[in-house]
Amino acid sequence: MTYLELDTGDTAWVLISAALVLMMTVPALALFYGGMTRAKGVLNMMMMSFISLATIGVLWVLFGYGLTFGNSVGGLGLLGDPSGFIGLGALMNPEAMTGTIPTMSFVAFQAAFAIIATALISGAVADRMKFSAWVVFSVLWAIVVYFPVAHWVFNFSDDTGHVGGWIANRIEALDFAGGTAIHINAGAAALALVLVLGKRQGFGREPMRPHNLPAVMTGAALLFIGWFGFNAGSALGANTLAAVAFVNTVAATAAAVIGWLVVERIRDGHATSLGAASGIVAGLVGITPAANSVSPLGAIGLGVVVGALCALAVGLKYRLGYDDSLDVVGVHLVGGLVGTILIGFLADPASPAGVAGLFFGGGFDQLWRQVVGAVAVLVFSFVVSLILAKVLDLVMGLRVDADAERAGIDLTEHAEAGYDLNPIGGRLGGAGSALATAATTPVDVAPDVAPQTEGADQ
């Protein structure tokens, strides 16, 4: 690492961005996903985001940061060496700098990335995955899939002898904020997980409508705002690069909403609110890898394409028969692939990345790098996630039983209901509860009328 002087403006922006990216998981993703499930599974869906925040947050401090951003083990570019970063205590030293910001602020920023990458997967498993199985899967997934892949993509080598990941440094695929490491990665894992987990009961026959579209739209809007931390924050400074990424994020997202709604209007006859919310997310996913390598006009082009393609891709699950409940594959895997590969065409040499794509006379040079990066992450994440899911299914079982699924996963897994729509009846305390004794102490109500029905005399 090169030791530059600390810049307070840069540090402030990265810390604020870290908080914005945390907001993307809770509440934004939790609301976006929670509103899209049926009412009987809303709490479980939101809980999967909350628990990811908790588990991955702890892992990140313990050894996750080290595995991701440590010096590459053996110089292979496959995994970081966490020694020296265990518990992060060494980074409290004011001399621990990353560029112009304290390394600790970079740690905070990237913690939020690891959390949302993991939480994104949960949208695919709505209404049917044991909470315990989710906790174990998500923790192991972060360790064996996310930390290595983030190392490949986000860890850059420098002239002090620090060796980073192979995709960033050897393939030199452009991935500004995580089109491969976050979105292709989570999308491919979601596909693998639902193939093992199976479909919800009644999938393809019963309507499984979003139970709260205002929550979905609120969540999507908060994701949009949080994503400025994600993309513009990835500049790791308050500078032109951050501003370009910011404007490209606006342009692509706006265009993707239009792309998605036009497809819906033509195909289904209506422009829907769920389509607008989904278009926002598709556009954000698409511009994530490209925010520093395309022009604002290029971002608009990218946005229209990614919005339209994702709108078409979400129908695939019905034709191919996998129950990717909230379209993690259709939006994040497809959107991530489209964004990452389009860089090979749309990269503008005048942009901060300074690379020319196919449309700017750069030939196929950048395009093949993008394809290799995207495919490598897709295949690795899919295969390892598939093995992980299969093993966990054998060891602990991934799915709640059929009756519990029918009754609603909120009740059976969390003993709660999202909405108290019928507050009649019931009393304090359950069987075996200390409260039950107090609540059921008999009140002196003498029945002064006995049943008169024949045969009822006692």
Binding site for other proteins (CB under 8 A): 207, 209-210, 264, 267-270, 272, 274-275, 278, 311, 314-315, 318, 327, 330
Q: CB 371 → other proteins: shortest distance, Å?
A: 28
User: Looking at beta carbons only, is 156 or 419 nearer to other proteins?
Assistant: 419
Read off the tokens for 331: 């939006």
Question: Judged by CB, which is closer to other proteins: 174, or 314?
Answer: 314
Tell the smallest beta-carbon distance from residue 27 to other proteins (Å): 22
Shortest approach of other proteins to residue 28 CB, angstroms?
19
Burial of 453 per CB tally in 10 Å (0-12, 13-18, 19+): exposed
How many residues are recorded in the chain? Answer: 458
Give the shortest CB-319-to-other proteins separation in angstroms.
11
Contacts 24+ apart (CB under 8 A), 389-394: 389/137, 389/192, 389/193, 389/195, 389/196, 389/197, 390/196, 392/133, 392/136, 392/137, 392/140, 393/196, 393/197
Tokens of 110: 């990237």
Cβ nearer to other proteins, comparing 42 with 376: 42
| Structure tokens, 47 | 């809980």
- 């910011």: which residue's tokens? 246
Q: Which is nearer to other proteins, 327 or 348 (CB)?
A: 327
One-letter amino acid of 133: A
Least distance (Å) from other proteins to the CB of residue 206? 9
Q: What are the tokens at 338?
A: 């489209």
Beta carbon of residue 420, minimum distance to other proteins (angstroms, whole number):
16
C-alpha dist (Å) from residue 183 to 78, 169, 216, 332: 19, 20, 19, 5
Rounded Cα gap, residues 79 and 165, in angstroms: 7
| Residue 436 DSSP label | H
Q: Which helix (H) or strand (E) holds 97?
A: strand 97-98
To the nearest whole angstrom, how small is the minimum distance from the Cβ of residue 328 to other proteins?
A: 12
Least distance in Å: CB of 339 to other proteins?
20
Of 19 and 316, nearer to other proteins (C-beta) is 316
- Rounded CA gap, 438 and 143, in Å? 47
In Å, how far are 175, 249, 295, 340, 343 from 359, measured between CA atoms? 19, 21, 12, 15, 10
| Minimum CB–partner distance for residue 207 and other proteins (Å) | 4
Kind and range of the H or E run holding 102: strand 101-102
Nearest-approach distance from CB 230 to other proteins, in angstroms: 24
CA distance 323 to 393: 17
Alpha helices in 24-130 (DSSP H): 30-36, 42-59, 65-69, 103-121
**Quick one: 145 or 310, whose CB is closer to other proteins?**
310
Q: Cα 304 vs. chain centroid, distance in angstroms?
A: 22
For other proteins, give the closer residue by CB, 213 or 372. 213
Q: With CA atoms as reference, report the closest residue to 226 among 210, 249, 243.
A: 249
Q: Which is nearer to other proteins, 196 or 338 (CB)?
A: 338
Shortest distance, CB of residue 314 to other proteins, whole angstroms? 5
How far is residue 328's CA from residue 192's CA, in Å, rounded to a whole number? Answer: 11
Structural contact between residues 47 and 54, judged by C-beta atoms closer than 8 angstroms: no
Q: Is 87 or 202 the residue whose CB approaches other proteins more closely?
A: 202
Q: Which is nearer to other proteins, 132 or 270 (CB)?
A: 270
Nearer to other proteins, 235 or 326 (CB): 326
